[in-house]
Structure 1
Amino acid sequence: MANTRRYYYLDCIKIFAIIFVVFNHTNARGFFLFSQQMNSPLFYFYLLVSLICKVAVPLLFMVSGALLLNKKESLGVLWKKRILRYTIIVIVFSFIRYLFDLQYYNNWNSFTLLGFFRYIYAAPMEIPYWFLYTYLAALIMLPFYVR
Structure 2
Amino acid sequence: MASDASADRGPQLSSVVVFVRDLGQSVDFYRELLLMTETVRTATAALLVGAGDAQLYLRVMGPGGEHPLGAIGVQYVIWTADGPQDLDRCERVLKQRAAHVSSRDSEDGVRMIEGRDPDGLPVVISHPGPQGAARHDIMARIYAW
Same fold (TM over 0.5): no
| Pair member with larger Rg | 1
State the TM-score, normalized to the length of structure 1.
Answer: 0.27
Greater helix share, 1 or 2?
Answer: 1
Greater strand share, 1 or 2?
Answer: 2
State the TM-score, normalized to the length of structure 2.
Answer: 0.27
